[in-house]
Structure 1
Amino acid sequence: MKNYRPVQAPPGRVVLLEPTEDRETAMNRAIILSALGLVAGLAWGMSQASASDLVEGFLEKKDPAKIEKICAKAEKRYQKIFGKPSEDEDATVILMYKYTFCPERVSVPQGTLVRWVNVDKRTSHSTWLKEAGQPESERIFPEEIVEIPFDMPPGDYPYLCGPHWEADGMVGIVTVTP
């Protein structure tokens, strides 16, 4: 025999009733959902453990000649906006342009200030050192910046653009040296 439970309805609407499952079906569903949750949790954990490999995989698939052209255009745009080359800044600058970080790989001494600058005309980005346990930045709109001091221990720190890393492969690596 099926039981019925009320279904919450929007204000001013009739409350509907829907059939509930019998006890055995409900128990089976709970067991299946628990197993799926365990599998999803394990998969999530494995993806966390291999974030560096994931970023390296994205970077290896990119065409270096195409990236070079994009980064040259990004630098021209930076100079147009700020009136000087990015290398003349008091921080290590990484440009965000056309779903690409320029440069995608950078090596900095421990304690260096790294500045991400969005030189796109319309697209917002973010920076996220997910593997390092850092929170994702707020959206960085055109001509805005985000700065992070790399006081972390020496090593590789993969980072990504929260909204564009999966579909567009917008990832990079900061290597901190002693």
Structure 2
Amino acid sequence: MLSKTFAFALLAGVMMIGSAQAGDVCEEAEARYQEVKNELPSDEGVTVVKLYNYNFCPPKLTVKAGTTVRFVNVDKRTSHSVWLKEAGKEESERFFPVEFWEFPFTEKGEYPYLCGPHWEREGMRATITVE
């Protein structure tokens, strides 16, 4: 039988590994975005959020009113959507790798959003604050 000390140490180690992986995922998303960026329209004038490995990167973003945010799927296999459910917006259509969806944030406020098909994953819930 595992001692309580060993079980606690094991759990702490797993949590540390999970935290390190979560921190690295946005770096991986940026690297993948750089690989596919030439296949997309110019990102000049928009703010980009990457969807990668069941995460929105960055998970928290602050923009000025009038900013268009482009959500880019940089995964290699899965489709995603963006749903500003609390703001009463309809869910976007699913978009596949190297596809995107854009939304203009015109009104100040806090906008939680999620990925419709993957909402249960912590990384697939995020927030945009519009100032």
TM-score by structure 2 length?
0.79
1:101 aligns to 2:49 (yes or no): no
Aligned-residue offset at 1:155? 1.5
Say whether residues 1:162 and 2:110 are aligned partners: no
Tell me which of 132, 141, 144 is aligned to 2:87.
132
Question: For residue 84 of structure 2, what is the amino acid of its counterpart?
Answer: L
CA distance in 2, matches of 1:135, 1:74: 26
The structure, 1 or 2, with the larger RCO (C-alpha pairs under 8 Å, 6+ apart) is 2
Mapping 1:44-83, distance limit 5 Å: 65-83=20-38
Q: Which runs of 5+ in 2 are unaligned?
A: 1-17
Q: Report the alpha carbon displacement of residue 89 of structure 1 after superposing the two structures with TM.
A: 3.5
Question: What's 2:105 paired with?
Answer: 150
C-alpha root-mean-square deviation of aligned residues, in Å?
1.6
| SS at 2:62 equivalent | strand
Show structure 1 runs of 4+ deviating over 4 A: none
Q: Which amino acid aligns with 1:164?
A: H
Unmatched 5+ stretches in structure 1: 1-62
Post-superposition CA distance 1:101-154 (Å, at most 9, x none)? 0000000000100000000000000000000000000001000010000012x2
Q: Answer with 1 or 2: which has the greater Rg.
A: 1
| Cα displacement (A) at 1:82 | 1.1
61, 69, 74: which one aligns with 1:119: 74
Q: TM-score, normalised by structure 1?
A: 0.59
How far apart in 2 are the matches of 1:112 and 1:80?
A: 25
